[in-house]
C-alpha cells in the first residue's frame, strides 16, 4: 500500500488491516502471524485466565517483533489482573469492548498504551470519543459473536459514525475480502477489522471441526439470537434448534440462561462439539471456502484491495 493513513501510523503497521480479538480463536499463533504479515494481530483475552493470557503475550513477543494488541471485554471478571499483566508485559495496544471505555482508558494511556474501543452504535461511538480513546471500531450486526441490540449493518453504521467523530475509525462486520475492505474505507473507515476470515486458518486456536463448518457454511446459515441476554450471531445447529424450541414456549430470561449454561462457546468453538456448542461466526462465512494461512489472507486482501482501487479509478 503506497501511502500511510491514520491507523497505520497510530499502530506502526504496514496495512490498515486488523485481525479481531475473538474468543477461542485468536491466541498468540494467529496474532503473531497477522502482525508478521503487516497487519495488526490481536490476542483475544476474553477466553483466557490471567496466567494463560500472560503466556500468550510472552509467546507472541517471541514470535514477532511487530506491534500486536490484546482485546479485553470489559465484563471480564478478573479484569484488574488482566490489565496489570498487559501493562507489566509491555503490550502497546489494547482493544476494549462490552463496557464503559471511561473505566480503563486513562489508566492504560498513562502507561503508554493506545486504546481502541469497540462500539455498535453512533451513541456509544460519541461516548467513546468523549472518554478519550485513540481510535474506534464500529461493528455492524453482520459480525459473528456478540453484537449490539440496534442491529445496524456495517455499511449503514460506518458513515453515520464517521459523521459524528473525528478520531480514527475501524470498520468491522461482514468484511473478508479486499473489495469489502475498499468499500468500508470509501464509506469513511481508516481501516478494517476482520474476524471470521481468520478463524479459517491453521493458526487459529479454534477446533478443526468448527473451522470446517465455517468453510462449509452457506448464506443464511448464521442467525442473531438470544437477544434477551446478549445478542449473539452463531451457526445453526442442534443448540440453536433447542433455543428456537424454547422460544415457542415464551421463556423467561432465567430459562434462557439455564439452556445456555456455562462454557457453551468453548464446547463448540474450542472443543469441536458441533451439536451442543455455541458456534459464533459472522454472515461473511458464506464467502469463506477454504482454510489457508493467515499471511496468505493478508496478502490476498491487500492485493485485491489495490486492484479494486485501480478498477474503481477507471470507472
Q: What is the DSSP string of 210-227?
A: HHHHHHH--TT-EEEE-T
CA proximity to 38, closest of 299, 304, 308, 309? 299
Q: Does the structure show a pLDDT above 80 at 192?
A: yes
Distance of CA 258 to the CA centre of its chain: 27
At 3, is the pLDDT very low, low, confident or very high (cuts 50, 70, 90)? Answer: low
d(CA 215, CA 151): 25
CA proximity to 56, closest of 83, 32, 23? 32
**How many residues comprise the chain?**
315
Mean pLDDT of 222-246: 93
pLDDT of residue 256: 93
What would the pLDDT profile of 139-173 be if each residue is shown by its tens digit?
Answer: 999 999 888 888 899 999 999 999 999 999 999 99
Mean pLDDT of 59-83: 95
What would the pLDDT profile of 237-250 be if each residue is shown by its tens digit?
Answer: 999 999 999 999 99
What would the pLDDT profile of 96-106 be if each residue is shown by its tens digit?
Answer: 998 899 999 99
Q: Does the structure show a pLDDT above 80 at 44?
A: yes
Mean pLDDT of 117-122: 96
User: Strand 191-194 vs strand 232-235: parallel, antiparallel, or unpaired?
Assistant: unpaired
Q: Does the structure show a pLDDT above 70 at 2?
A: no
**Which pTM value belongs to this model?**
0.94
DSSP 19-32: E---TTT--HHHHH
Buried b (16+ CB within 10 A) or exposed e, 221-256: bbebbbeeeebbbbbbbebbeebeeeeeeebeeeeb
Mean pLDDT of 274-300: 96
pLDDT of residue 15: 97
pLDDT of residue 262: 84
Beta carbons of 222 and 144 less than 8 angstroms apart: yes
d(CA 108, CA 129): 15
Amino acid at each position: 500500500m503506497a501511502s500511510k493513513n491514520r491507523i497505520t501510523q497510530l499502530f506502526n503497521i504496514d496495512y490498515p488491516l486488523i485481525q479481531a480479538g475473538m474468543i477461542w480463536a485468536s491466541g498468540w499463533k494467529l496474532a503473531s502471524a497477522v502482525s508478521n504479515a503487516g497487519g495488526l494481530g490481536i490476542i483475544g483475552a476474553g477466553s483466557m485466565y490471567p496466567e494463560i493470557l500472560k503466556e500468550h503475550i510472552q509467546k507472541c513477543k517471541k514470535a514477532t517483533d511487530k506491534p500486536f494488541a490484546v482485546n479485553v471485554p470489559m465484563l471480564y471478571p478478573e479484569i484488574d489482573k488482566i490489565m496489570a499483566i498487559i501493562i507489566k508485559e509491555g503490550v502497546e495496544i489494547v482493544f476494549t469492548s462490552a463496557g464503559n471505555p471511561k473505566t480503563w482508558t486513562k489508566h492504560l494511556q498513562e502507561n503508554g498504551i493506545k486504546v481502541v474501543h469497540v462500539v455498535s452504535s453512533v451513541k456509544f461511538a460519541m461516548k467513546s470519543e468523549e472518554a478519550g480513546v485513540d481510535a474506534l471500531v464500529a461493528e455492524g450486526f453482520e459480525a459473528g459473536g456478540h453484537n449490539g441490540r440496534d442491529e445496524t449493518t456495517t455499511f449503514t453504521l460506518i458513515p453515520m459514525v464517521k459523521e459524528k467523530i473525528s478520531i480514527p475509525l475501524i470498520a468491522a462486520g461482514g468484511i473478508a475480502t479486499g473489495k469489502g475492505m475498499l468499500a468500508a474505507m470509501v464509506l469513511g473507515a481508516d481501516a478494517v477489522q476482520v474476524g471470521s476470515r481468520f478463524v479459517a486458518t491453521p493458526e487459529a486456536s479454534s477446533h478443526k471441526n468448527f473451522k470446517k463448518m465455517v468453510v462449509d457454511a452457506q448464506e443464511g446459515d448464521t442467525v442473531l439470537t438470544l437477544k434477551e441476554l446478549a445478542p449473539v450471531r452463531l451457526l445453526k445447529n442442534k443448540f440453536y434448534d433447542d433455543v428456537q424450541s424454547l422460544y415457542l414456549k415464551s421463556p423467561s430470561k432465567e430459562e434462557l440462561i439455564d439452556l445456555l449454561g456455562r462454557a457453551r462457546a468453548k464446547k463448540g468453538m474450542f472443543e469441536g462439539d458441533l451439536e451442543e456448542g455455541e458456534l459464533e461466526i459472522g454472515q461473511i462465512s458464506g464467502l469463506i471456502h477454504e482454510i489457508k494461512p493467515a499471511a496468505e489472507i493478508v496478502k490476498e486482501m491487500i492485493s485485491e484491495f489495490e486492484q479494486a482501487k485501480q478498477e474503481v479509478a477507471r470507472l
